[in-house]
């Protein structure tokens, strides 16, 4: 999408529909698209809203003047943003864990992980076996340890787990992630539940600095699975053979679209059918 096209979009609308705009230009990195819109809007002095959505920072700064912003006001603003973000994340964790514990029924498979798992179309896409989705956006392996009980209330025969990218993004070491994986594997082993560890997926261009760590983490996970006699599923060989999540698999270089989940399911479903003899 050219700057001229983006300028016309900004000039012709009071606000933009980012999802619709991206759907018209899917070969563009979504974050690059939004950044370009902000830049062009500023260059041309336009008042077009980038979207109808009112952000938290917009609400908090609507009565502030950037030119006269004091140090005290700035510190108050950052404190409020920090508090709100931490509280919202904690509340989401509390509510999700509570609901997963309260509403459960016996299943064959539990899909366990972060947002990449939570947003997966498992109920529609996994064939021939019953499934429970125990993904939680933004979660780390440490948080997942605190949610382990929610995986066994379903009485599953198998847990498919993927995690680690949020840990790496937040600066946790690979040793810490491997330790947490070890704790999870020990827990499921104690409850006689089979486990498949799915490789932590590579990320796209915007987050590419994490990919060397992802590769190292997956090697360590493979070695851990060998030691514990646990199945390791190398999804990167299917989705990210070049060591980077392709543009056609994600809008934000992290989360997956239908094309990526289709590849994932095409790889996983035959393995599940063989495992369960169905």
pLDDT at 163: 98
Superfamily of 106-276 according to CATH: SGNH hydrolase (3.40.50.1110)
Hey, what long-range contacts does 117-120 have (CB within 8 A, 24 or more apart)?
Answer: 117/162, 119/255, 119/256, 120/256, 120/261, 120/264
The Cα–Cα gap between 140 and 262 comes to: 25
- Residue 89 has, within 13 A of its CA and on its CB side, a CA count of 13
Minimal CA–CA distance to 181: which of 228, 117, 235, 122?
228
Minimal CA–CA distance to 32: which of 10, 6, 66, 69?
6
**What CA–CA distances, in Å, run from 51 to 36, 54, 188, 191?**
14, 8, 45, 48
Give the number of other CB atoms < 10 A from CB of residue 96: 18
Length of the chain (residues): 278
pLDDT at 113: 98
Which residue is associated with the tokens 């095409």? Answer: 266
Write out pLDDT tens, residues 18-41. 999 999 887 888 999 999 999 999
Minimal CA–CA distance to 247: which of 15, 21, 17, 22?
22
pLDDT at 24: 87
3-state secondary structure 110-136: EEEECHHHHCCCHHHHCCCCCEEEEEC
Q: What are the structural domain ranges in the chain?
A: 3-53, 62-103, 106-276
Q: Are 168 and 209 in contact (CB under 8 A)?
A: no
pLDDT at 57: 87
Give start and end residues of each alpha helix (H) in 25-155.
Answer: 30-43, 56-61, 71-102, 115-118, 122-125, 141-145, 149-152
- Which residues of the chain are modeled with pLDDT < 70? none
Q: Are 101 and 149 in contact (CB under 8 A)?
A: yes
Whole-prediction pTM: 0.92
The Cα–Cα gap between 17 and 35 comes to: 15
Q: Report the Cα–Cα distance between both ends of the chain, in Å, rounded.
A: 47
């Amino acid at each position: 999408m050219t700057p001229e096209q983006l300028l016309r979009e900004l000039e012709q609308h009071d606000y933009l529909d980012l999802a619709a705009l991206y759907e018209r230009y899917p070969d563009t990195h979504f974050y690059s698209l939004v950044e370009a819109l902000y830049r062009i809007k500023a260059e041309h002095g336009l008042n077009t809203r980038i979207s109808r959505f009112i952000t938290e920072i917009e609400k908090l700064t609507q009565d502030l003047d950037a030119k006269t912003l004091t140090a005290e006001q700035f510190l108050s603003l950052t404190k409020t943003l920090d508090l709100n973000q931490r509280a919202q994340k904690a509340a989401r964790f509390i509510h999700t864990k509570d609901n997963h514990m309260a509403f459960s029924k016996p299943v064959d498979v539990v899909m366990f992980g972060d947002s990449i798992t939570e947003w997966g179309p498992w109920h529609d896409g996994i064939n021939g076996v019953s499934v429970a989705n125990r993904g939680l956006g933004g979660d780390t392996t440490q948080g997942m340890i605190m949610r382990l009980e929610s995986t066994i209330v379903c009485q599953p025969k198998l847990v498919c787990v993927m995690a680690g990218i949020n840990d790496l993004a937040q600066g946790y070491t690979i040793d810490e992630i491997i330790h947490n994986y070890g704790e999870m594997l020990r827990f499921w082993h104690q409850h006689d539940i089979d486990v498949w560890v799915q490789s932590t997926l590579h990320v796209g261009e915007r987050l590419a600095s994490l990919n060397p760590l992802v590769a190292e983490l997956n090697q360590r996970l493979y070695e851990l699975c060998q030691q514990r006699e646990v199945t390791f599923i190398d999804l990167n060989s299917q989705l990210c053979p070049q060591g980077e999540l392709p543009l056609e698999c994600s809008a934000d270089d992290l989360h997956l679209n239908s094309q990526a989940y289709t590849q994932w399911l095409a790889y996983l479903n035959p393995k599940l059918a063989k495992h369960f003899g169905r």
